[in-house]
Amino acid sequence: MKTIIEPFKIKSVEPIRFTTPAEREAILRRAWYNPFLIRGDDVLIDLLTDSGTSAMSARQWAGVMDGDESYAGSRSFFRFERVIKNLTGFRHVIPTHQGRAAEKILFSVVGRPGKHIPNNTHFDTTRANVEFAGAEAHDFPTEEGKQPALIADFKGNMDLVALERFIKEQGRDAIPLCMLTVTNNSGGGQPVSMENIRRTSQMLRKHGIALFLDACRFAENAFFIKKREKGYARKSVREIAQEMFSYADGCTMSAKKDALVNMGGFLALNDNTLAEKARNILIVTEGFPTYGGLAGRDLEAIAQGLEEILDEHYLTYRIRSVEYLGEKLVERGIPIVQPPGGHAVYLDAKRFVPHIAPEQYPGQAIVAELYRKGGIRSVEIGSVMFGKTDPKTGKLISPPMELVRLAIPRRVYTQSHIDYVIEVAQEVYKDRKRMKGMRIVEEPPVLRHFTAKFRPLS
């Protein structure tokens, strides 16, 4: 087989800025060792997130120019709506300025104290919006999904036994809907199988509970199904995606992921009453239903992006380039979550720096070191992001995994950029025994990873 190449050529370029080790040391200190507080211009290779960082195509940019900015009844909205209805089959399409706005609206309608939302694994903003509405968020990943070194095809799956037990305990009236995140972002970017989606849906229907997909990376998930699940090899990714949505009653989506744009999202659903309530909130908080939180040009670019994302040459390149990074790290002995996910490679900080306890934020220490050594920006997904303080003992309750995510922006970096990342990661790994943990100096009450301040332990 020949090398899998980027299925595009480059028409417009953006320079990246090189810094010296001394500059980076000062930048780190000024940013309180929090990657969210580092300026973009001070980063050489930015793997903080794949969200809103995609390169748009010439056709998307043409769509930006062509966008209809009518306040009501914009042509661009009708294209946006048509593309999403064709893909998802859902009756109502509600544009929002990003994924979390769709979540905010959905959980404002269905969430309140006493309500519970299950999910394979909540993404941070999803959990925050469930909790902000006064409801409780519960994660049901499978046992497989909790073992970072284990290689399996669908580690993003929902644990159906645990879910059904939970439904019986709480009663269906306490569970307005169940979410399924595809791919499972916080669980390592791992896909969910069609069988798991179908069985989750069947079980929920039996109990009269709606299923919503958190569909941010539906195309990457569909491609994994095509490659790994029996019976799907000859189906098109579009058909697979359509089947995935057919088992759900609605979805929330951040267009900043698999719609290949820099801003946008939507809520789509079948239930008329729920849609009406959602639109009423939309008008107050986002905008009129035919633009929501977006400009006509954004709607146009999203519609175009949702067509391009299903190109199988693109998906082959996309999934392979993430796998390539994972493969090379493993060859160098660097512990990662196996197998690599769709949009990111996750370093396993517990095995990377076993001498740093969860209370000393091992992932955060690696994040700082990747920046210090190579100007690479990554993010901790572990005790900083998901840790809670036990109200009785004041001690940290840490999540099962301590990870560092290297998220790959879509269509942005070439193979030599990735080779550089591999070299820097290897250097960090070589020096790992000398690394020290971190302590939090200051933190906000919610989503602390965005603004918390750290200092290295001496």
Ligand X SMILES: *Cc1c(COP(=O)(O)O)cnc(C)c1O
Binding interface with ligand X (CB under 6 A): 51, 98-100, 123, 125-126, 181, 185, 214, 216, 254, 256-257, 265
Measured from the CB atom, the residue of 214 and 369 that comes closer to ligand X is 214
> Residue 302 Cβ, how far from ligand X at the closest point, in Å?
12
Query: Which residue in the shown chain puts its C-beta closest to ligand X?
Result: 99
Question: Where on the phi/psi map is residue 122: left (φ > 0), alpha (ψ -120 to 50), or beta?
Answer: beta
CA 338 and chain centroid, separation: 17
- For 295-317, the DSSP string reads -HHHHHHHHHHHHHTT-HHHHHH
Cβ closer to ligand X: 53 or 254?
Answer: 254
Q: Write the CB contacts of 433 (distance below 8 Å, at least 6 apart in sequence).
A: 355
Instruction: Confirm if 25 and 372 have CB atoms less than 8 A apart.
Output: yes
CB of 178 to ligand X, least distance (A): 15
- Identify which of residues 212 and 361 has a Cβ nearer to ligand X in the complex: 212
In the bound complex, what is the minimum distance in angstroms from residue 216's beta carbon to ligand X? 4
Complex with ligand X: residue 44 or 241, whichever CB lies closer: 241
Neighbouring C-alpha atoms within 13 Å toward the C-beta of 303:
25
Structure-token pair, residue 32: 């309180």
**Residue 409 to residue 425: CA distance in whole angstroms:** 18
**Minimum distance between the CB of residue 292 and ligand X, rounded to whole angstroms?**
13
Please identify, using beta-carbon distances, which residue of 123 and 429 lies nearer to ligand X: 123
Least Å distance between CB 58 and ligand X?
24
Residue with smaller CB distance to ligand X, 368 or 381:
381
Q: How far is the CB of 410 from ligand X (least distance, A)?
A: 13
Looking at beta carbons only, is 130 or 428 nearer to ligand X? 130
Determine phi and psi for 389, rounding to 5 degrees.
-100, 130
What is the bridge-based pairing of β-strands 250-254 and 45-46?
Answer: unpaired
The Cα 200–Cα 161 span in angstroms is 10
Q: How far is the CB of 344 from ligand X (least distance, A)?
A: 10
C-alpha 115/C-alpha 136 separation (Å) is 6
